Structure 1
């Protein structure tokens, strides 16, 4: 007799099938590929622990440039780090980010998954490739990676900002409304042809009039089904606006280069969401 499928696995399978049915009814993009960092068998990340206490200058840089009168005398080191690495900000290039320690079963790859801050830990070899592509504004910081008892200095923390919002062709893009996370039946393509994110916000406000934002089951969300981009030179990007997309994408030319160079630690996934 087959082993019964756990209810959470049933939900996950249903969600995957419904997602594919909804998004995979059109051709895959020829220009862009979704990129993800693979999930391990035992843990979602490779990084077990970010030892920021190994930083040579985090505290001094914080005290010189970030400390305010509202701060208590004691500010935890990770709070210092998170304040410096907030989105849209680039701390001093001299900042040392200490050491990240990997889980015992994690392998050293060109991209190391599992550190907070919005950037990537990448091998210096990968960074030499990426800096020749359009990855937006960026800064690299010193960081070491410990795998078992070996500490590698052959990595940098790549903090980059590259949003594609300004290139979105709203009239050609497709948006849908829905309720709840698993209420697939509530999804419906919006017939409106939008000209901007402000117009989408106005429709969202109208659909949610009288509904509390915290009422998850009744709150109507608007998301993109297919984003059409105007001509651009983006090679690694995400979207800032909530109505667009929360995933990261790379250009087909960058994907081909990373494959040719046998870069590890990234998963390339065909997409219909960005064209």
Structure 2
């Protein structure tokens, strides 16, 4: 398989996004994020299922020191991205993991912009080849000793034991090998799950975004994700 992947992260260059990061983390006065079907109700659905209603996302406000980009960094959760209509249009032409786009209003210095909340929801941790992958202990961001793990059950057990010692302790994948069942899906955007917490994008989708001058995401080669 000849496909290349990249890790997606929110841009933090102040020349691009302004002097506040994340760019969006608050609300206009008339919007109540705790109201039924508003933003915070979505948290019940971040990882397990999609809501059976249309969320009310009509009042999200950017920092006054932020600049508008196609993809706007936010403080509302890793599975929720704020994207422009043209970003949505490009994403929809590719093979994405399970997802939804919700209409939303984004405010910057009292000007309203029509954007979308891009909600991805997937867990491919059952399709990791644990015996071939490598893992290490971490204390927050400090890497410790390597750990041999042979199954998802063993991974979860070790992670639980380490977490009981300290909330800063964890076990994370250093290199990931996936099963053929996963690669057969030929995804262009996905999140693997608890084993590493990164969002991945295919090279072809990344190039389309860059060629279209879509702003707000940075990309680094996913050298940890081994494509066979």
Q: TM-score, normalised by structure 1?
A: 0.67
- The 8 Å contact of residues 135 and 234 in structure 1, kept in 2 or not, is answered as yes
The corresponding residue for 1:229 is 178
- What is the correspondence of 1:99-138 to structure 2 with a 5 Å cutoff? 99-117=59-77, 118-138=79-99
**How big is each residue's C-alpha offset from its partner over 1:40-74, in whole Å with a ceiling of 9 and x where there is no partner?**
6443200141348447xx85x65xxxxxxxxxxxx
- The 8 Å contact of residues 52 and 78 in structure 1, kept in 2 or not, is answered as no
Q: SS in structure 2 opposite 1:227?
A: strand
Does residue 261 (structure 1) correspond to residue 220 (structure 2)? The answer is no
Change (3 A) 1:93 1:129: farther
- The 8 Å contact of residues 135 and 162 in structure 1, kept in 2 or not, is answered as no
Does residue 49 (structure 1) correspond to residue 10 (structure 2)? The answer is no
- The 8 Å contact of residues 139 and 160 in structure 1, kept in 2 or not, is answered as yes
Q: SS in structure 2 opposite 1:222?
A: strand
- The 8 Å contact of residues 42 and 51 in structure 2, kept in 1 or not, is answered as no
The corresponding residue for 2:51 is 91
Deviation at 1:89, TM superposition (A): 2.8
Q: Provide the rounded CA distance (Å) in 2 between the counterparts of 1:215 and 1:122.
A: 36
Query: Which has the higher Rg, Structure 1 or Structure 2?
Result: 1
Deviation at 1:101, TM superposition (A): 1.5
Deviation at 1:156, TM superposition (A): 1.1
Change (3 A) 1:200 1:259: same
Change (3 A) 1:99 1:40: farther
Q: Provide the rounded CA distance (Å) in 2 between the counterparts of 1:115 and 1:201.
A: 27
Aligned length: 216
Deviation at 1:30, TM superposition (A): 6.1
Q: Provide the rounded CA distance (Å) in 2 between the counterparts of 1:32 and 1:144.
A: 31
Change (3 A) 1:90 1:105: same
Change (3 A) 1:51 1:202: same
Runs of at least 5 residues in structure 1 that lack an aligned partner in the other structure: 1-28, 63-76
- What is the correspondence of 1:1-275 to structure 2 with a 5 Å cutoff? 31-39=4-12, 41=14, 42-51=19-28, 53-54=30-31, 59=35, 62=37, 79-83=40-44, 85-117=45-77, 118-153=79-114, 155-178=115-138, 180-181=139-140, 184=143, 187-190=144-147, 192=148, 194=150, 196-202=151-157, 208=161, 213-215=164-166, 221-230=170-179, 231-232=183-184, 233-241=186-194, 244-275=195-226
Q: Could you say what the CA RMSD is over the residues aligned between the two structures, in angstroms?
A: 3.0
Change (3 A) 1:146 1:216: closer
Higher strand share: 2
Q: TM-score, normalised by structure 2?
A: 0.79
**How big is each residue's C-alpha offset from its partner over 1:86-127, in whole Å with a ceiling of 9 and x where there is no partner?**
322322453321122111231111111114153111111111
Runs of at least 5 residues in structure 2 that lack an aligned partner in the other structure: none
